[in-house]
Amino acid sequence: MRRNKGFTLIELIMIIVILGVLAAVAIPRYYDLQSDANTAAEKGVVGGVRAGIQTYFAQNKAFPATLDGNAGAPTACSASAPCFDTILSQGGITEGWTKQGATTYTGPDTDTGLTYTYTVGDGGFIGN
């Protein structure tokens, strides 16, 4: 006698249901990872800016008057108008940051919506 091999319709439906449940759980976690990555990237830039301010102070015995050579404001940071190029050795940050005023910047993370202010007197770069 010959025996047919394969899956029954019920088995196939159960596999599809299980895959659907796994996808429903995994997709929201993926979006949370993107948000967490954006927040972490902004915090990394802020840490780099703060380290650059302290390095500038160590070399010049004074805090920088401005964090970049771009005197105009407001403007989106770009290759022609980089932010933080005075204190960051790689030439500044060009993606996502916006210069709001002479010492005020907005980061690219739309979830936190933080605006960072540079204080020349104490070299602070604080988000609020």
For the stretch 75-95, pLDDT in tens is 888 888 888 988 987 777 768
Mean pLDDT (whole number) for 92-115: 85
Q: Domain coordinates of the chain in residue numbers? A: 9-127
pLDDT value for 94:
67
User: Which pLDDT band, with edges at 50, 70 and 90, does 73 fall under?
Assistant: low
pLDDT value for 82:
85
Mean pLDDT (whole number) for 101-108: 89
Tell me 105's DSSP state.
Answer: E
| Alpha-carbon torsion angle 107, 110, 111, 117, nearest 10 | 30
pLDDT at 117 over 90: yes
At 12-60, the pLDDT tens digits run 999 999 999 999 998 887 777 878 888 888 899 999 999 999 999 999 9
pLDDT at 112 over 80: no
pLDDT value for 51:
94
Mean pLDDT (whole number) for 104-114: 85
* Residue 6: Cβ within 10 Å count: 6
| Alpha-carbon torsion angle 38, 42, 116, 93, nearest 10 | -120
Instruction: Give me the sheet containing 104-106, strands edge to edge.
Output: 75-76, 98-99, 104-106, 115-119, 124-127
pLDDT value for 1:
62
